[in-house]
Structure 1
Amino acid sequence: MTRRDSLKALGAIGVGAVLASPLLAAMNNADTPLFRISLAQWSLHKLLFANEIDNLDFASEARSMGFDAIEYVNAFFKDKAEDKSYLRQMNARASDSGVTQLLIMCDGEGALGDADEKARTQSVENHKKWVHAAKTLGCHSIRVNAASSGSYEEQQKLAADGLRRLTEFAEPYGINVIVENHGGYSSNGAWLSGVMKQVDHPMCGTLPDFGNFCMDWSRSGEPDAWYDRYKGTGELMPFAKAVSAKSHEFDADGNETGTDYRRMMRVVLDSGYRGWVGVEYEGSKHAPRDGSKLTRELLETIRDEMSA
């Protein structure tokens, strides 16, 4: 029996009251929505990179757009992970806006599956400050990448090693380590779900992204460079602790043109997931705020349809 299965069995034989999350209780509450909708900071990346808004403005910006939960990207406060004063300001801004801080998406800290042992260890070390920051902000997770090199199986083993080491560090802080399908083999649902099985830790999971299933961006125009997004999401959902609703463009009826959101949300909900779904608008046809609003409205429509 794996560690993950052991915990499932333990919960089934009488310690559910101890281990059960508020989410499980909420699922039995008829007033609880099928899922809640958050805003990923990357949706506003053009405004942030242009200095039209600042990281500290994100919480109030999200609230003004109709969101009550947010997902950070570390690039927008890259040098502030260990700045307690700055993190307190982030907490204050979120509190003042009535916004929940859910997670930090972490990039630029090295490859957790690096084939070089020293580099892999350094990447684990680099991520630790974000675990501390996530704890300070009251987040439930940090999102990391599973980049590696080598064969399919070699990369699985290397990524699992780095992820397990980081997760074991994060566990005492109550912070999950979650992996997004983000290019390379990580955009292969079978590969990443296999990594999760090798890590075999209840606090290491996935963040399925509806759109990031291109395994080789140098061949993005070729069909075989893409993994089936619905199949991939289905493979990642058993390990999901967050979901990213990637969007690019909408038609006149308000539907996303690249992803069948109704089909995708059925995949998400059929897995039993009832957590947050993060709006991540990445298109150019609509302005950042408008694209984010269109994504939220589509998710709300689907939620209403599926709740009827």
Structure 2
Amino acid sequence: MNRRLFLKNTGLAGAGITVAGPVTSWLMENTLLPDIKPFFKLSLAQWSLHKAILETKTLPALDFAKKARSLGFEAVEYVNQLYGPELENMGLDKLVKELKERSKDNGVKNVLIMIDGEGELAALSKTERDDAIAKHSKWIDAAAELGCGSIRVNLFGAGAENDFNVWKETSVDGLGRLAAYAKKSNINVIVENHGGLSSDAGKLTDVIKTIGLKNCGTLPDFGNFCVKRQGGERWGAPCIDEYDKYKGVLELMPFAHGVSAKTYDFDANGNETTIDYKRMLKIVKDAGYKGYIGIEYEGNRLGEEEGIKATKELLIKAASGS
């Protein structure tokens, strides 16, 4: 069977999934091939390659679309903090133009931009919230120019995180005003469960429902449900209060405009060691979601490309019910 006919018969081509390398090997050996019909499309989150970009400097950030294509992906998710030097040297407008050309040259769709380091939308100070809205707004314009559907934002809330009622009030204001701006460009503003109260899915969805805008939603991440860390640290310290990840994804999915498939490590059978992917994908599927699932490998044992490929195999295998 040739590759084109194989993809057609398995239903993968119609699902927007390009299969290559180890994934093909796994599929060829699986006896349930005719029944594999993933309900989602795959994209690659740039953070999966952050070590190659920031640490070893073996991958220029501008070559992300090219690298994603070489790994078999047809859609990408950018991370703004990985473009520090380019932003300084080129400016945002020229950077966006360059990324747009490169994605087009490689036949890659731009899905979203993950925004970090542009101020806190839920800050206690209105002046700080205003500043964060202004800084995030330029990325909404960039996302629209790139052809993305969304930007991912954080909802920490400097000074407001210790009191839910205060955090909800500042979140509704900052996030709500940003989403209203984004609505003019048909861009979704989506919040990832990314630490602090944003990882308490019940509280985050309360904010989303209160804002009540269709373009204001969530980016459920399978692994980021630490609400509180030792010593009050935002990152790095051991987690001492973790929200149930399956309950969290279930609560976030009704508002999802994207899904992040986080992986850290894999056992001998290719399963994630801390996340039940079959269970997660059932939650996502039962919510009626048919959009992009972004692969975000954050492990240390495997190299980044190995981890990306292992995550891709796992998603397809879990979707098949095998």
1:273 to 289, 292, 312: 289
Is the 2:120–2:154 Cα contact (8 Å) retained in structure 1?
A: yes
Q: How does 1:69-84 map to 2 (within 5 A)?
A: 69-78=75-84, 79=87, 83-84=92-93
Output the CA distance in 1 between the equivalents of 2:71 and 2:247: 32
RMSD: 1.9
Q: How does 1:106-121 map to 2 (within 5 A)?
A: 106-121=115-130
Q: How does 1:201-280 map to 2 (within 5 A)?
A: 201-218=213-230, 221=238, 225-280=241-296
How far does residue 77 in structure 1 lie from its aligned partner after superposition? 2.0
Amino acid at match of 1:252: A
2:171 to 159, 174, 178: 159
Is the 1:210–1:259 Cα contact (8 Å) retained in structure 2?
A: yes
1:144 corresponds in structure 2 to: 153
Output the CA distance in 1 between the equivalents of 2:281 and 2:229: 25
Q: How does 1:11-30 map to 2 (within 5 A)?
A: none
How far does residue 221 in structure 1 lie from its aligned partner after superposition? 4.4
Identity %: 45
How far does residue 153 in structure 1 lie from its aligned partner after superposition? 1.6
Whether 1:104 aligns to 2:109 is: no
Output the CA distance in 1 between the equivalents of 2:93 and 2:169: 36
Give ranges in structure 2 of 5+ residues lacking alignment: 1-14, 16-34, 232-236
TM-score, normalised relative to structure 1: 0.86
Whether 1:95 aligns to 2:109 is: no
Is the 2:38–2:320 Cα contact (8 Å) retained in structure 1?
A: no
Output the CA distance in 2 between the equivalents of 1:166 and 1:116: 16
Is the 2:37–2:320 Cα contact (8 Å) retained in structure 1?
A: no
Output the CA distance in 2 between the equivalents of 1:302 and 1:63: 23
SS in 2 for 1:209: coil
Q: Deviations over 1:220-257 (max 9, x none)?
A: 646x5100000001110000000000000001100000
2:11 corresponds in structure 1 to: none
Is the 2:199–2:226 Cα contact (8 Å) retained in structure 1?
A: yes
Amino acid at match of 2:44: L
Amino acid at match of 2:148: C
1:132 to 141, 149, 170: 141
How far does residue 82 in structure 1 lie from its aligned partner after superposition? 5.2
Give ranges in structure 1 of 5+ residues lacking alignment: 1-25
Output the CA distance in 1 between the equivalents of 2:260 and 2:290: 13
Amino acid at match of 1:195: V
Q: Number of aligned pairs?
A: 277
How far does residue 35 in structure 1 lie from its aligned partner after superposition? 0.3
Is the 1:157–1:198 Cα contact (8 Å) retained in structure 2?
A: no
Output the CA distance in 2 between the equivalents of 1:32 and 1:227: 31
2:61 corresponds in structure 1 to: 55
Is the 1:181–1:209 Cα contact (8 Å) retained in structure 2?
A: yes
1:44 corresponds in structure 2 to: 49
Output the CA distance in 2 between the equivalents of 1:262 and 1:32: 14
